[in-house]
Chain A
Amino acid sequence: MDEEDEAPILTAVSSSARQLYQLLRCINFSEKAHVQISDEGLKFSVDEASVMEGSAFLAKSLFTTYTFRAPRPQRNSQHIDSDEEGEDPDDLTATPTFQISLPALLETLQIFGLTDPNTSKPPWARDNPTSTAFSNNVLGMNNMCRILYTSLGSPLTIILTEATIRTTCDLTTYEPAFSEEIPFDRANLSFKTIMRGNWLCDAVGELSSTTPEKLTLWARTRGGKPYFALSSSGTLGSARVEFNNNPQPSSRAPPPPPPNPSSAAAPDQQPQANLLETFQLGDPETTLRASYKFSLIQRAARAMSVATKVSIRVDAQGVLSLQFMIEVETGKVSFVDFRFVPLVEEDDEEADETMLGDGEASGSDDDDEDML
């Protein structure tokens, strides 16, 4: 039992708490967040009634120092400790998972900047004119943040240092709730497109004005050109936002489009300003249509507004995955993921039940690169 005096499980130092705050704020819709610590980084995930989940991944590269020491690793994973004593390794995973209070973490990260009384004044009016070209606040180093996780069951400690003030926050760690990830079958996609995040944000913002209950996603190929639309319906009426890749004035009728199998996919002209970067349909012959609860989609609004790009994917079961690429500083990108379970539709009759596909989740987030 020498774990206690050894190095902590996790020590991570970030030179910018604001970056961490920006990413975590995107998934701020739940009281508790699951935290998963691994060699690659910290994964924060929240879910809502198992029909929606969001996760933000704070990759190792966001931190200036990131030291992870797997707690009592399993036999063949890492060779930090050779387990001579015959311990039962089954319930001790190499990636510690626990829950913390997400609002508390966000408030803590925001303490920065508040404490600097000098920022509102010009340099010559400051009380202690110690600021030089190399002082911390000029270099943007004034929000150093250290994350510490000593041992299994110990609190997650956030230490913020600014000038002569040191703030320490111990976040109580809770046992993880046993919730399954929403399965998303990457191998069997029925639709995929990539577009700019603020366009999706504008579209959803536009639709929200009628306080709709349902958001329907339409996608098809027509005359070799991709067509993507979002429509909303609720008690106050319905609205639709269309995304067309070619900016020509279109005379086509907006009501639900009939399946138009124009198999002659001749790329007649390359449109100049493409709204949709990638456009793939699992079955180009048919129109994809899937509905989701609007209020849940709106939870991702914060991510939409800050993301540079968003990858919209729907798998064969209708599960929607929104993956946002967020540029935290030039050249450094991070990803925030959302998944939504679709509403069941039967002949335009909305049913409130949700459907959970049982396709197995591949669990790896290694397909992030296609947006880059």
Chain B
Amino acid sequence: MRFKASIQNITTFTKLTASLNSLGPLAWVKLSDDQVCFTIIPEQGTQVWAALSIDTIFETYTVQSAANNVINLEVPLGPLNRALKSALNATSAQIRLTKKDSMPLLALTIVTTSSSNSYSAFPTGASNDGGLDAPFDDSFGGGNRETIITQEVPVRVLAPDTVAGLHEPQCREPDVHIILPPLLQLKSISDRFTKLALAGARSGPGSTASRTRLEMAANMHGCLKMSIKTDAMSISSVWTDLSNPELDPGQVAGGEIGISEHPSTRMKLLGSADGRSEEGWASVRIDGRDWGKVMSVGRLGGRVIACFCHEHALILYVYLPSDNGEDESVLTVRDLALAFLITPLNN
């Protein structure tokens, strides 16, 4: 069993682990020839199924194992995130799977160049007034110093049988799919809503509502509605002018006919673009705090499509921004990076 790769995009990897860590402490990482999968299945709350193409994070990637070159690991996200943070200023970073005293671990080797300014007593380089000493200074160590840091993250290797039973849950075709506004904007409002609801619960007699019911709804006319109700108030925010991406006949079962029978096509007939109509909304009630955690993935950037199955499920698909200048209006399944399955609250 062998895994070795150099990390190409340290910032993205760090943000990704930080976002995932807010949803659950342990991730099932599946390394295979063509992709890296991060899966988080907490006891309660949102599940994440992330499938990243190798070059999103890694380069010079090798994985070998007896089981079809697939390695399954249980990785603690907190330590991994901390280890990656120390690599943020690195010139290069490598990750590999090793063993130490028969304990499997991911070793992160980070090479940083620390500028000599903070250590040497003399200013170096151009600021030398004589200019004569400069070559001497450089050879003396006045130039850049290389530091190698090794961070070790203990992991558990999972047997193929252990993870064989885990599959991404299937859900019926969504009633509404919509591109969300910037997640950080959504988060700032949803956090305030949650705060409002908790403030209301505190004053109420004997209410131990630790969960805040946030109602999310969307229609096929570019509107997203977020609302919360308490005894003292009910508040809702409506976004308009968002876009509902067109379905690709090649991706939907049944092609053109499949699209014409798709639930979202029916929803298109209802509701209005100003968000004032009562009809045409697909809504899901979720836990406000859980939603706030999911929103932290906003730091990764990228576009987020929310799929609403009315009173049944809410799934967010995050498409990471690609830097190779592709036309961003076309999203294919291949671009899909993360799927968040948000647990709805029962009534």
Q: A: which residues have CB within 8 A of B?
A: 31, 100-101, 103-104, 107-108, 110-111, 114-115, 117, 127, 155, 164-172
Are A107 and B195 in contact, with the CB atoms below 8 A?
yes
Q: Is the CB of A104 within 8 A of B192?
A: no
When the two chains form the complex, which single residue of B189, B196, B200, B238 contacts A168, counting CB atoms closer than 8 Å? B238
* Interface SS, A side: mixed
Residues of A with C-beta under 8 A to B241 = 164
Assuming the contacts A101-B233, A169-B234, A170-B235, asked whether A111 and B189 have C-beta atoms less than 8 A apart, the reply is yes
| Distance in angstroms between the alpha carbons of A108 and B231 in the assembled complex | 15
B249 within 8 A of A: no
Segment from B13-21, B180-188, B260-268, B277-285 that makes contact with A: B180-188
What's the interface size class on B, roughly?
20 to 34
Cα A213 to Cα B43 in complex, Å, equals 51
A115 & B233 in contact (Cβ 8 Å cutoff) = no
Task: Pull 29 A–B residue pairs with CB atoms less than 8 Å apart, ordered by A.
Answer: A31-B203, A101-B232, A104-B196, A104-B200, A104-B235, A107-B196, A108-B233, A110-B192, A111-B237, A114-B188, A114-B192, A117-B185, A127-B182, A155-B234, A165-B239, A165-B240, A166-B237, A166-B240, A166-B275, A167-B189, A168-B235, A168-B236, A169-B235, A169-B236, A170-B233, A170-B234, A170-B235, A172-B232, A172-B233
Contacts of A115 in B (CB 8 A): 185, 188-189
* Interfacial chain B residues near A127, Cβ < 8 Å: 182
B270 adjacent to chain A (CB < 8 Å): no
> Do A117 and B232 form a contact, CB below 8 Å, given A103-B199, A107-B192?
no
B182 to chain A: closest residue by CB: A117
Q: Roughly how many angstroms separate A337 CA and B61 CA in the complex, as a whole number? A: 70
CB of B315, distance to nearest CB on chain A (Å): 23
Q: What A residues does B239 contact at CB under 8 A?
A: 164-165
| CB interface residues, B 146-195, toward A, < 8 Å | 181-182, 184-185, 188-189, 192, 195
CA distance A114 to B187 in the complex (A): 10
CA distance in complex: A256, B237 (Å): 59
| Neighbouring B residues of A169 by C-beta, 8 Å | 233-236
Complex contacts, B232 vs chain A, CB 8 Å: 100-101, 104, 171-172
Residue of B with least CB distance to A167: B237
Q: A110-B192, A164-B239, A172-B233 are in contact. List 13 more A-B contacts (CB 8 A).
A: A104-B199, A104-B200, A104-B233, A104-B235, A111-B192, A114-B192, A115-B185, A115-B189, A164-B242, A165-B189, A167-B235, A167-B238, A170-B235
In whole angstroms, how far apart are the Cα atoms of A13 and B55 in the complex? 53
Nearest 7 pairs between A and B by C-beta? A101-B232, A169-B235, A167-B237, A114-B188, A104-B233, A164-B241, A166-B238
- In the bound complex, residues from chain B placing their C-beta under 8 Å from that of A100 are 232
Residues of A within 8 A of B236 (CB): 167-169
Residues of A within 8 A of B240 (CB): 164-166
Residues of A within 8 A of B230 (CB): 104
Q: Which residue of A lies closest to B232 (CB)?
A: A101
How many Å lie between the Cα of A110 and that of B236 in the bound state? 14
Expressed in whole angstroms, the minimum distance between the Cβ of A150 and any Cβ of chain B is: 15
Instruction: Output the residue of B185, B236, B237 with the most chain A CB within 10 A.
Output: B237
How far is B225's CA from A166's CA once the two chains are assembled, in angstroms?
9
A168 to B203, CA, bound (A): 22
Q: Give Cα A166 to B181, complex, Å.
A: 13
Chain B contacts with A in 200-254, Cβ cutoff 8 A: 200, 203, 230-242
CA distance A305 to B185 in the complex (A): 31
Chain B residues closer than 8 Å to A103, beta-carbon distance: 199
A222→B236 CA distance, assembly (Å): 61
Interface residues of B in 55-69 (CB under 8 A from A): none
Neighbouring A residues of B185 by C-beta, 8 Å: 114-115, 117
Q: Whole-angstrom distance between the alpha carbons of A292 and B290 in the complex?
A: 47
Q: Chain B: which residue is nearest A160 at the CB level?
A: B237
- The smallest C-beta distance from A220 to any residue of chain B, in angstroms, reads 45
**Smallest beta-carbon distance A127→chain B, Å:** 8
Q: Report B182 CB to chain A, min CB distance, Å.
A: 5
Looking across the interface, which residue of chain B has its beta carbon closest to that of A101?
B232
Residues of A within 8 A of B195 (CB): 107
Give Cα A110 to B240, complex, Å: 21
Question: A114 → chain B, closest Cβ, in Å?
Answer: 4
Contacts of B235 in A (CB 8 A): 104, 108, 167-170
Report whether A117 and B184 are in contact in the complex, using a CB–CB cutoff of 8 Å. yes
Bound Cα distance from A111 to B181, whole angstroms = 16
Closest residue to B188 on the A side, CB-wise?
Answer: A114
